[in-house]
Homo-oligomer: A and B are copies of this chain.
Amino acid sequence: MDLTPLFKPKSIAVLGASQNGNTIGGRPIRFLKEYGYQGAIYPINPKYKECQGLKCYPNITALPEAVDHLMVVVRAELVADAVLQAAQKGIKSVMIFSSGFAEAGEEGKAMQRRIQDVAREYNMPVCGPNCQGFIDHFNQVTATFTGSLVNGDFNKGPVAFCSQSGAMGYHFYGMAQRMGLGFSYMVSTGNEAVLTTSDFLRYALDDENTGLVASYMEAINDPDQLARCADLAFKKQKPLLVMKVGRSMAGSQAASSHTGSIAGEDRIADTFLEQNGILRVDSVGQFFDLFKVFSNPKRLKGDNVGIVSISGGAGVVMADDCERFGLNVVTFAPETEENLTQKLPYFGSAKNPVDLTAQVLTASEKFYDCLKCVADDPNTDAIVVFIGLLEHMKDILVPPIARLEKETEKPILVTWMACDDPIRKDFKKYGIPLYEEPTRCIYALGQLNRFRKALAHQSERKKQPTVAPDQSLTAKVSQLLDGDSKELDEMTSKELIQAFGIPATKDVLVTDKSEAGEKAAEIGFPVVMKIVSPEVAHKADVGGVILDIKDKDQATQAFESIMQGVSRARPQARLKGVMISPMVRNGLEMLVGIKNDPVFGPVLMAGLGGSYVEIFKDVSTRVLPITAFEAKDMLKELKAYKLLKGARGGAPRDIDALVEVLLKTSTLAMSLSDRISELDINPLLVFEKGKGVMALDALVSVK
């Protein structure tokens, strides 16, 4: 669907136009005129002949042309008909400000469905309903009624911002505009009946005036589309920033009552964004901080920071913050330290963080020389400058920074505590990111570094094929999943994972005691014996498990003891028999699992198994599909990775075999995503390097 008529309309009509430039129906016309929109504007309202000095039309049909864009500001009940008329007239795009749709109950949902149907039939882009419109800063299209435009702030620049919440988005936009941050687009998507956040993100990523794309989301409605946006962002090397709210239980409930969307688990949303290289932020302040740093086109090549401060104390604060945000306060090359030592008074510090002392600041040239030293140091990737107060020295201090900004490819970030408006304007003019608190400055630099690492990660990830479903295996195992039970028993679960190539103990079901002795001997002692019954979940609690059985006699006795014990404890249970498995030792107990998320689909889990699972919750997750690179990465995230590598004198484990199981489990999950809701392999024993892995237990839950 082409969004050009929406974003760059040659003509605009407003249905429900008002004479009063302060109402929802009046503001769009007022703003279009005030902010210099170049196309034709057609107010529609049967009450007027003229509206805000423009010729006014009685209805859509009466319009002199099929406009590129129609804004709709009439009562909810009238909207669907208006959209149909617009489509029939040949109007190329529609935006609906009116509310009272999906967010307001069943009747509203039905009206919203009618709008969707028309849009689909006529292939017409529709934004909203229940939205606050959009702004295209490079074409002076102010198709919105937001109060943020009342004050005349209108800075154009590289930021494209898209918000599911109109109010929150425009509060944010208004505040950013007052801070002087420049935008390309600002869009409020409302109920997303037709066009979604992803449609706008894609449009903005393709736009050449846009350097960074950001979105405020209350729900991720289409993870696949969003993942495609992330792909495009990666190709364009543009940062894609997302503030996804509803992290908490209270927040996610509030979000779903606000937008009617399903939340999904926030931890999974986090994983999804991270694995697609989308930078998640957690507050509006973080958005501002990132807009500043990403509005400058310079990017980091590494994580080594050189800090130049007029105060030793600020250097300490920033060094702490560097560590907090994953940056390195690098040791300067010897010649840098020597050079700086010559330039600084004896009570300054030529080591990183550099303490310039006030003496250096008396002349631009001295200050420039010190900055230049640090920028020229082969070890630094970025320069952070700290200044406080000293407003009267603006014209000594700003020009050297501006000069260096032009001369070096390394990002320069400035913190100026207690600065004033003239200073802010200067830095805006030179396009240098300016912060007023040291921690926010270093946070932003940390995120620039996170972007660098995310790009590198994506490029590694995309080198390998992603796991795909295997339909032949789906067919092969299909009958295992038929049946009336919500859970497969252990033997069937293991059969299923073995069909997908995951090693599991070879178990044998026996139904009488002599068979028990024979089969146990065939397997080879020692063995483990467990009751098999669909009604007995916690087998050990009812005497249903016996370990370390060493010979035929013990096996025979064990059979009797298990059958009798369980019969006594659970007289109603159907006992299918006793399962005999080899007793396996000396592996590290890990777990591998699958969970189906209502929003994101199958999610893979890997973690430490055994006794401490519930205590330490050392588990990493990925939304499927993944590549082998990502499977390895999941393991590296774990604290237990140290154990896999062979901590405390232990032997290194067979990590490759474990990665293989993760990939096979992914194939399984994707092949059977319609059939199974959960899979737990726990414990999966991981043996010494080269010796493979073995699933000791598995449990499949059927949909």
Contact = CB atoms under 8 A, between A and B. Distances in A.
Contacts of A316: 165, 218, 245-246, 251, 254-255, 258
A54 interface: no
Nearest to A169: B313
A475 to B, nearest CB: 39
Interface string A504-548: 000000000000000000000000000000000000010000000
Interface string A309-336: 0111111110111111000010000000
Contacts of A437: 283-285
Contacts of A103: 347
Contacts of A258: 312-313, 315-316, 349, 355
A329 to B, nearest CB: 4
Given A218-B313, A615-B639, A643-B615, A254 B389 contact: no
B165 A312 contact: yes
Contact of A323 (B148, B250, B355, B612): B250
Interface in A454-505: none
Given A175-B417, A323-B248, A310 B167 contact: yes
Given A311-B167, A312-B167, A257 B347 contact: no
A247 interface: yes
Contacts of A616: 612, 616, 618, 639
A100 interface: yes
Nearest to A253: B319
Nearest to A244: B320
Contacts of A169: 313
A418 B104 contact: no
Contact of A254 (B257, B315, B346): B315
A171 interface: yes
Contacts of A251: 316-317, 319-320, 323
Contact of A389 (B171, B310, B324, B349): B171
Nearest to A442: B283
A355 B253 CA distance: 13
A353 interface: yes
A699 to B, nearest CB: 17
Contacts of A248: 319-320, 322-324
A584 interface: no
B148 A283 contact: no
Interface string A235-264: 000000000011111110111011100000
30 contacts: A99-B347, A148-B418, A165-B312, A165-B313, A171-B389, A174-B388, A174-B389, A174-B417, A175-B417, A245-B317, A246-B320, A247-B324, A249-B323, A250-B322, A250-B323, A254-B316, A254-B319, A254-B329, A254-B349, A254-B353, A255-B316, A258-B315, A283-B438, A283-B439, A284-B438, A285-B437, A285-B439, A285-B440, A614-B648, A615-B643
